[in-house]
Amino acid sequence: MVAGVFKVLLSFGRAGNGQVMLDVASQMFGKAPGKLDITALHLTVGSDVNPLHTENFEEVSFRPIIQEAKKLDVPITTRYAVSTDAGQDIVNIVNKEGFDFLLVGAALSLSDIPTDIEATQYKNTVYERYFRHLKAPRSWFYPGTLLKDKTKMFIEQTKCAVGVFVNRGFVKATNILVPVAGADDLFLAEYARNLQKSTHGSVTFLYGTEGAAGSGGVAEALTGYAAGEKKVVLLADAPFTAGLLSQYNFMLISYPTWNAISDHRKEALQSMPSTLILSKKKAE
């Protein structure tokens, strides 16, 4: 990390996603101490891409995010490449170039954007109609596994903190829910603080419902946080339900807690707001 500079690598697939993810990065880190340095990365996957076409791919891919950067007055660096292994290339860039944070998008199947729902339904139809009788793995066609598989790769192999963004109609994080399963999740408070500074929104810490066995000291730490910040609600022992989630427009959650919740709160998660799933930076 360069002194006084916070380097974010924002890796996006479809052009429209880059614009929304830039909004997330700006709200998350725009008011954090130090200079924000954002690199927007788009990789075209495939070894047979005609070099004559790459310039047009690059222009189309970056147009929305460049327009959004001008609107937000956030300087960004754009970066484009053709890749045969996008995941590994992203890991290599992050580690070799000393980024502090990697922001990537989640699978289409977690989105509630109409075009994403249509894309997921189409993939499911293709699988059922043509490939199920071949016993082909559903993961070839259904991107729900991407969140666990790719995120696990990024978290295990990169040296920086990782954020996986689930777009559920994101506009602005003004009403934020932060589930805290235990002391290991308290690092989320700093992200919540940055968001509050940027959006002037409110934050609710939900604790005591998931992983309660490891929650020692959580109440005390959150009480201390609330004493120093405005618009903070501490919600203890409330059930993690669809009704609760529908009251918020953004959620911050740690990767371990997400894994625990997604295994046995699947129905509730259908009503989740836009969400950022976070992992901590590895200790040096």
Residue 1 has pLDDT above 60, yes or no: no
**Three-class SS of the chain:** CCCCEEEEEEECCCHHHHHHHHHHHHHHHCCCCCEEEEEEEEEEECCCCCHHHHHHHHHHHHHHHHHHHHHHCCCEEEEEEEECCHHHHHHHHHHHCCCCEEEEECCHHHCCCHHHHHHHHHHHHHHHHHHHHHCCCHHHCCCHHHHHHHHHHHHHHCCCEEEEEECCCCCCCCEEEEEECCHHHCCHHHHHHHHHHHHCCEEEEEECCCCHHHCCCHHHHHHHHHHHCCCEEEEECCCCCHHHHCCCCEEEEEHHHHHHHHHHCHHHHCCCCEEEEEECCCCC
**Confidence label for 46 from pLDDT (cuts 50, 70 and 90):** low
Average pLDDT, stretch 168-173? Answer: 94
% of the chain exceeding 70 in pLDDT: 76
Q: What is the pLDDT of residue 148?
A: 56
The predicted model scores a pTM of 0.82
Q: What is the pLDDT of residue 54?
A: 57
pLDDT, tens digit (0-9, with 9 covering 90-100), for 85-98: 889 999 999 999 99
**Confidence label for 78 from pLDDT (cuts 50, 70 and 90):** very high
Q: What does the mean pLDDT of the chain come to?
A: 81
Q: What is the pLDDT of residue 173?
A: 97
**Confidence label for 276 from pLDDT (cuts 50, 70 and 90):** very high
Average pLDDT, stretch 25-37? Answer: 88
Residue 60 has pLDDT above 60, yes or no: yes
